[in-house]
Structures are given as C-alpha cells and as structure tokens.
Chain A
C-alpha cells in the first residue's frame, strides 16, 4: 500500500488487474473445495449403495433375525449364522477395552500431569512411536510371543486350556495396539486444559490428585470420552490382528481362551476361499454393511453423550 503514493498513475492501472486476479482465484478455490466435498459425498454414497445392493441376495433368501441369532456358520450347507462372529467381536472389544482403558487413562495422567523434563519427552515420544506401528507388525509379534505365552503359560496358569490362538490372544494384542493411541489422545485433551483450571483448584488448597480427579478429568472428560470411543472403533473394526490370531473357528466360543471369529475376521478369512459357494459373497458383504451400521449408530450415540458431558462438565 505504501508504494501506491510513490508510483502514481501506474498503481491506479495495476490495482484493478490485481484485484481481478485475486477475485478469480477466490472463485476458483471455492469451486475446487465444493468439488472435493461433493466427490467425498458421492464416494461415500457409492460405497453404501454397493454394500446394500450386494447384500440384497442374502437378506431376500434368509431371515435377518435368523441369521443374527443362529450360531451355525456353514456356507457349504447354506447356513449363515452370524452369532459366533458377533459374540467373538463383543468378547474381543470388551476385553481389550477393559484392559486398555484404565491403563491408558492412568498413563496419560502420568505423562500430562506428573512427568517432567526429559522423562516426559522420552515417554511421550515412545508412546507416539508405538501408536504409529502398523498393526500387521503387532500381529506378527503376537504370533511369535503372545500365542505361546497364552497357550503355554497364561491358560495353564488359570487352570484352562488354549491352543494359543484365540480371543484372549487377540484381545491382549489389540489392547497393546489401542492403548498408546488412547494415551496420546487423552494426553492431548489434558494438556489442552488452561492452567487457570489447575490454579483455581490448587488455589483453594486442593492437592494435585484431588485437582486431577475432580477437575481435570471432568474438564477433559469429553475429550477422553472421544479417545476411548476412537479406541473402541479401532478394536471393533480391527481386521488383520483377529484374522491372524483368533484361530478362525465359527462356533460360539465357550471360554475366552477358545478360538473364534470376529465380524471383520470372518470377512477376511472366508472371502477368498468360499467364493464359489452361492450366496457367500453376499453374506459376507452383508457383514460389512452390518459393521458400517453399527459404527454409525455408535458414533451417533457417542455424539449425544459427548454433548451431554460437554454441557455438564463445561468450564
């Protein structure tokens, strides 16, 4: 702007052209953004429509209720009971979240509120590195370490029997995968809290632990809740680790040490093999649709809960 006075009439001629160019870019950029947005929506619609369309054969031949409650999965004899995989999914999700969540929250509190200086840097970068390891590597390590551990030590120690592959093994490995991820997110939401909250609580004579328990965990509550849900989503949709470690057994597991199947691992383990059997492909795609719908419902419920928490625990 300073130069306009110096360069006189030249600037007058310059300006509209420059302005035109800027306005053109402005308009183009909005087209681009709208285009990208529409593309994402279209892609999404395409996925859902494909799943629905491909699921039609199975739902028109078999009753939905029957498939969801039957424990007999045997495509060769046209039996498509999803219950074993549903039970397996619930088992794995509940077990690994039950192991991972408390550890994640405690570790996050340590990192965000207690660790100092180098220790903090070392621990949190270690956690970040863990969170970034591809799950197939955890699957491999699970095969080499966790499978014999469960089969040879843990199961006998608990007075039961396991071939090593099974629900407990998957749950342990999934807990190891998902915990660093939840730690990172929880640390983030604790560290995002303003120091004033700590000062306000410490400033009336609360101890550090009282401050964490009754102030910081609440204030960060919606964020921590999201961290847990994202962790939950990862376990629920986990594919490669269950496929590698669950033992591929389509019967309802009697104990968590049994082999089993989860919904995603059912898709992976059966898709290639059983394609020649009629309806199998449709049955498996329907599993995919089921996963999608459950995740949606869950996210929707989570959003409602989160809103409530945000109102209740605002600061």
Chain B
C-alpha cells in the first residue's frame, strides 16, 4: 500500500486457551493506512473481532487470550512498550458491535473521555460535546435532551453516540466492530453516512459482515479466513479483480446470496430435506 501506515501488525498470533483451544489469528501481518477506511471481512468466527481488539489490546480483558507478535502504532510497539495501556487505548479508540451507551447522560457519554484525559472547563466541555455530536450527525436530534440517559435514545442514535464518545477522546485510529449489524436499515444507513464523513479525517478499521457495505465504504479490504489473511488489497481491486481464488469465491458467493434475498444459508444446503431411505 502506498499510503502512510498508521498502524500495522507483525506476525500477530492470538490463542484462546481453555478446554477447547482456539487459535483465532495465525500470524497476521497487515498495514492500515492513514485517513483510510479499512474493512476486515470474512466468515463468522474467522477472527475479525480478535484482530480488531488486538490492535489496542482490548482482547486482554478476556482472561484466556494469549498473544504473540507485535502491533506498531506510528512505529511504536503497542505490546513491548512502557506506554501506559490507557493511553494506547485512547489513541486507538474502539466502538463495540452492540450499541452500548455508558450508564450516564448523553452529555456525559461524550464528555467521558475528555473528562478523564484533560482538565477542561465546563464551557470547553460543552464545546467538545457539541462538536463531536455534530460530527456524527446527532446534535440536532439530541441538543434539547443532553441530560437524559444515553440509553433512552434509539439504537441507531446510540451507535452514533458511541462514535461521538470515541471521537471525543481524540484517537488516531478508530476501531469499529460491525457497528451497523444491530441496527435497522435506516439507522444503519445513517451510521454508514457518518462513517463515510469521518474517514476523511480519521484512520478507521471496520469489521463488517456486509460485502455491500465494504464496497460502499472501504478504501482497503482485508479478507480473513480461519485466522489467516487470505488477501489484502485496495477495495476496487479486491472486489473487481480478486487475486486469490478463495476471495473470488467469497465475493461471488456473497453476491449470489445477496440476490437470493439476503438468505445466509449456502445454496446447496440440504439440511431440511428428509433422509433418503
């Protein structure tokens, strides 16, 4: 990739230990470019969320996750480092898949990061809250109810609130884990529009299940399959001229399925057929 790399992984390997040991990532080395939106796609359980969270060490809250390899943020290591973990996570923000407001007011959801990281006056905080809520196209919908609980918004609004909350901490990189998958189509579209605006200004890494969404939003695409990176390319090449056979199958398979009214089962599924006797 020709653009400046903001964050990259080097031979990242993540294993979940336990009764059934799962190697979620098999030595992944990928780059994420500045002010681009990189989509991570791949079938369920292939390690997309694990890759995303390992970028800011958020998977470490799982007691059974073991990791080797390194992540470099602006060439500084993220694992073998003296930099405090909260600061790394401030620089690499994370938005969960499930719309999750903090149990505080709308205002304080956005002000949460700034209050932790800086000594802002009330006026400065007011400013930050307004700016960030405008950035995610939520300001006009909530400006007269900033003091009500964040959880009282609709899920689509909450997801944009979550984006604003992450942005308010002034991250260098924003990690989004399937942020539209829990939303109805209209809310999803609004969040997508917001992401499209944001990618001008931020380096965004987005996990998505929707091939269409990746086509619409992504500059670069990473295709993960069972913990391996199969292909990584700019979006146009990836979708129009995939280099790897498996990518080709995946892209086409999904296209075919999508014409099939979004039904996710494989076309050759015979699970419901009676046994031949």
Contact = CB atoms under 8 A, between A and B. Distances in A.
Contact of A215 (B61, B87, B90, B103): B103
A206 to B, nearest CB: 6
A221 B102 CA distance: 13
B102 A200 contact: yes
Contact of A195 (B61, B89, B90, B93): B61
A121 to B, nearest CB: 12
B103 A200 contact: no
Contacts of A195: 61
Nearest to B94: A203
Contact of B102 (A117, A194, A197): A197
Contacts of B63: 116-117
Contacts of A198: 61
A-side interface mostly? helix
B190 interface: no
Residue among A117, A199, A315 with the highest chain B CB neighbour number at 10 A: A199
A2 to B, nearest CB: 6
Contacts of A311: 149
B168 A204 contact: yes
A207 B86 contact: yes
B191 to A, nearest CB: 16
Interface in B68-102: 86-87, 89-91, 93-98, 100-102
Interface string B140-160: 000000000111100000000
Contacts of A292: none
A219 B168 contact: no
Given A215-B103, A218-B104, A203 B61 contact: no
A152 interface: no
Contact of B112 (A199, A201, A314): A201
B149 A314 contact: yes
B166 interface: yes
A254 interface: no
Interface residues of A, number: 28
B90 A204 contact: yes
A21 interface: no
B100 A197 contact: yes
A2 B274 contact: yes
Nearest to A312: B149
A53 interface: no
Interface string A31-47: 00000000000000000
Contacts of A215: 102-103
A314 B103 contact: yes
A141 interface: no
A315 B102 contact: yes
Residue among A194, A198, A205, A206 with the highest chain B CB neighbour number at 10 A: A205
A206 B86 contact: yes
15 contacts: A117-B63, A195-B61, A199-B58, A200-B100, A200-B165, A202-B61, A203-B166, A204-B113, A205-B169, A206-B112, A214-B102, A312-B149, A313-B103, A314-B103, A315-B150
Given A203-B96, A203-B175, 7 more contacts: A116-B63, A200-B95, A202-B86, A204-B165, A206-B112, A313-B149, A315-B101
